[in-house]
């Protein structure tokens, strides 16, 4: 009998099925970059689990070696795919270029080629023999330099992915933190089991329990996908919207401590000499109180700029206050326009107050040029105009009158 379905083989096949189901789920949503990477990650996990399960169940030495070679594309690719997934999910995908991705896969490609051609150089496995342990037949593998190179590189890449998730966790909202914890716990399980395997924990003296850990990882990720909607696009979309809102937004806890800000808010803090790296955990006390914290709407002045502030209490569905939301909208341009408008109106009113005007039809004598006032009396032009305006008359004689009165001899 070439293949036996022992408990380890069944466990590996189960892990492969779970990984395949998750890969199918991701493929349906492959338009999103992180889902496409997750598809390849689950595909690699499935390949590793299934081929290793068949290898454990096999009794044919040649078939074992073939299955080992087939499993290594999955084994070598999983760490790099995990790192790519972490970077894209944590919004660092813009740092990835085709060239950088190719560099990440250099060691995996070398590993796959070295395993496939190991019989010619023995650099990956120094020696490969078949041993027996009870009812099991297995390959006794003596690790070579390329095996240790692949192990070190794989652990380094996995740890880097975990650190990226951990850094994202520190700045994420509570809802997203649950999702990141799922990914971290899912990755920690096979990572820890693999370290135990390298340290010498090997059931029956040969079994690598790392792929078995992917059963647990698959269950965790399946729970995350189908119970807490770990790939729900709503929260990432809200995060993008929050970060790119033109208004400065501050979220405070019950101790008036800033726990989250968006980009305009961080710029406002930076202008006040507060480092953007320390924006979280800063308590608004003493001289740091520059934000309006009383609920309601008001206009305020901060650093010679005008803002319309909206302060709202954040409460649970039970009505318990858990924080404060502060939104500052810069209205400096509008305020400046309003001030200029008020100044112009004031100047116009002052000018109008200084001006008296003559309006309507003015009855004037065609002969003596006197003007009839509202009471029916006839007044001199000078008296009428002076009464109704601020004009002041000075008297002189025009050249024509001068000539008619004094004659042509007047110089």
Quote the DSSP letter at residue 93. G
- 39 CB contacts (<8 Å, ≥6 apart)? 23, 26, 27, 30
Handedness of CA 145, 146, 149, 155 (dihedral sign): negative
φ/ψ of residue 54, rounded to 5: -65, -35
User: Hunting for tokens 């390849």 — which residue is that?
Assistant: 40
Task: Tell me the C-alpha distance between 153 and 145, whole Å.
Answer: 12
**Residue 74 structure tokens:** 């999955």
Q: Where is 178: in which H helix or E strand?
A: helix 174-198
Q: Are 255 and 283 in contact (CB under 8 A)?
A: yes
Report H helices in 58-173: 61-89, 98-104, 106-116, 118-121, 145-171
Boundaries of every domain in the chain: 7-233, 245-334, 356-411
Q: In this structure, which topology does domain 7-233 adopt according to CATH?
A: Rhopdopsin 7-helix transmembrane proteins (1.20.1070)
- Provide the terminal-to-terminal Cα distance of the chain, rounded to the nearest Å: 147
* Averaged pLDDT score across all residues of the chain: 80
DSSP β-bridge partners for residue 132 = 137
Dihedral (C-alpha) 346, 348, 352, 358: value to the nearest 10 degrees? -160
**Tens-digit pLDDT profile for residues 80-97:** 998 998 888 887 887 888
Task: Tell me the C-alpha distance between 312 and 294, whole Å.
Answer: 8
Dihedral (C-alpha) 52, 54, 59, 63: value to the nearest 10 degrees? -80
Q: Where is 313: in which H helix or E strand?
A: strand 305-315
Q: Is the pLDDT of residue 411 over 60?
A: no
Q: Is the pLDDT of residue 332 over 80?
A: yes
Count Cβ atoms below 10 Å from residue 2 Cβ, excluding itself.
8
The least confident of 49-63, 85-99, 252-266, 330-344 is 252-266
Exposure b/e, 91-107, CB count within 10 A at least 16 = b: eeeeebeeeeeeebeeb
- pLDDT (average), residues 204-217: 70
List the one residue out of 84, 244, 225 whose CA is nearest residue 164.
Answer: 84
Q: Are 295 and 313 in contact (CB under 8 A)?
A: yes
**Tens-digit pLDDT profile for residues 157-175:** 989 988 988 888 887 766 6
Q: Are 75 and 47 in contact (CB under 8 A)?
A: no
What length is written for the chain? 411
Q: Is the pLDDT of residue 205 over 70?
A: no
Q: Give domain 245-334's CATH superfamily.
A: PAS domain (3.30.450.20)
**Tens-digit pLDDT profile for residues 353-372:** 655 555 666 787 877 778 78
Domains 7-233 and 245-334 share a fold: no
Distances (CA, A) of 106 to 3, 217, 366: 34, 26, 110
Question: What pLDDT does 279 receive?
Answer: 40
Task: Tell me the C-alpha distance between 97 and 233, whole Å.
Answer: 24
Entry pTM:
0.59
């Amino acid at each position: 009998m070439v293949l036996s379905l022992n408990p380890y083989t069944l466990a590996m096949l189960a892990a492969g099925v779970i990984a395949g189901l998750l890969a199918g789920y991701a493929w349906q949503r492959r338009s999103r970059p992180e889902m496409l990477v997750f598809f390849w990650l689950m595909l690699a996990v499935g390949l590793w689990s299934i081929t290793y399960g068949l290898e454990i169940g096999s009794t044919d030495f040649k078939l074992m070696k073939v299955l080992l070679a087939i499993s290594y594309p999955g084994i070598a690719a999983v760490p790099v795919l995990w790192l790519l997934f972490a970077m894209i999910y944590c919004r660092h995908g813009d740092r990835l270029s085709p060239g950088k991705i190719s560099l990440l896969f250099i060691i995996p490609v070398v590993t796959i080629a070295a395993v496939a051609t190991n019989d010619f150089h023995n650099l990956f496995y120094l020696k490969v023999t078949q041993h027996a342990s009870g009812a099991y037949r297995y390959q006794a593998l003596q690790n070579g330099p390329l095996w240790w190179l692949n192990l070190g590189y794989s652990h380094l890449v996995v740890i880097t992915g975990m650190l990226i998730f951990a850094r994202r966790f520190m700045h994420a909202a509570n809802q997203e933190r649950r999702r990141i914890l799922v990914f971290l716990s899912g990755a920690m399980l096979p990572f820890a089991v693999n370290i135990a395997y390298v340290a010498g924990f090997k059931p029956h003296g040969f079994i690598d329990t790392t792929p078995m850990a992917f059963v647990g990882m698959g269950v965790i990720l399946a729970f995350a996908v189908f119970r807490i909607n770990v790939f729900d696009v709503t929260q990432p979309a809200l995060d993008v919207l929050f970060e790119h809102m033109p208004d400065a937004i501050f979220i405070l806890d019950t101790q008036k401590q800033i726990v989250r800000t968006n980009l305009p808010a961080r710029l406002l803090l930076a202008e006040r000499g507060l480092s953007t790296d320390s924006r979280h955990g800063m308590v608004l006390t003493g001289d740091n109180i520059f934000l309006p914290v009383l609920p309601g709407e008001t206009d305020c002045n901060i650093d010679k700029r005008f803002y319309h502030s909206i302060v709202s209490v954040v409460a649970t569905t039970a009505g318990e206050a858990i924080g404060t939301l502060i939104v500052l909208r810069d209205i400096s341009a509008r305020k400046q326009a309003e001030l200029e408008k008020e100044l112009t109106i004031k100047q116009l009113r002052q000018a109008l107050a200084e001006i008296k005007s003559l309006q309507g039809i003015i009855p004037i004598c065609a002969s003596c040029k006197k003007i009839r006032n509202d009471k029916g009396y006839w007044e001199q032009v000078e008296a009428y105009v002076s009464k109704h305006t601020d004009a002041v008359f000075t008297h002189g004689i025009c050249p024509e009158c001068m000539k008619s009165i004094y004659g042509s001899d007047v110089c």
